[in-house]
Amino acid sequence: MAARKKPAGGGTKKSPAELEKLLRDDPNTAALAKELDVTLEEYVKQVLQFAAHPELEPQLIVVDDDDLRSEGFQPADSEAMGQYLVELAAVADAGKGSGFSAAKKARVALPEPPPATATGSKPGLAEDVAKARKGRGKA
């Protein structure tokens, strides 16, 4: 099994000043800030906020449809979003499987056949069979 790399921070608890220095020295930090279209200072501030308070959840930002269009995004209308949710629920239900994919059911049990009895056998049958075999050279 391959050894896992230690995180950039070395895995030990760092002070906020040390974390900020690590973030600013990491070339990925600037690239991520640019990708997210925020300043380096804003990005570092947010990372430090979540590092200091890991129980916090990122905020959901609601943007007006006109603002999205001005940024070059086409927002989904409520009909399309409703249809998407219906299709998503159908896919989730389909993923649960059908009755055919459940564990195999027990096979049908056949009743036990009645035991063979010699009550209806022909007297002397065993001798007749023995004679017939001798005639073929099998006894």
User: Is residue 122 situated within a structural domain?
Assistant: no
- Please state which of the ranges 42-56, 70-84, 102-116, 125-139 shows the lowest mean pLDDT: 102-116
**Domain shared by 44 and 70, yes or no:** no
**Domain shared by 40 and 20, yes or no:** yes
**Domain shared by 35 and 52, yes or no:** yes
CA distance 97 to 46: 42
**Domain shared by 92 and 67, yes or no:** yes
**Domain shared by 54 and 77, yes or no:** no
Report the pLDDT value the prediction gives residue 13, as an integer from 0 to 100.
Answer: 78
**Domain shared by 26 and 38, yes or no:** yes
Under the banding of pLDDT at 50, 70 and 90, the label for residue 100 is low
**Domain shared by 20 and 50, yes or no:** yes
Q: Pick the residue with more confidence: 34 or 57? A: 34
Range of the domain at 39: 13-58
Signed CA dihedral, 75, 80, 84, 86: sign only: positive
Average pLDDT of span 36-63: 87
Q: What share of the chain is helix, strand, coil (3-state, %, to 5)?
A: 50, 0, 50
- Please state which of the ranges 13-22, 44-53, 114-123 shows the lowest mean pLDDT: 114-123
On the 0-12 / 13-18 / 19+ scale of CB atoms within 10 A, 22 is middle
**Domain shared by 88 and 66, yes or no:** yes
User: Is residue 28 situated within a structural domain?
Assistant: yes
**Domain shared by 48 and 84, yes or no:** no
pLDDT at 107 over 80: no
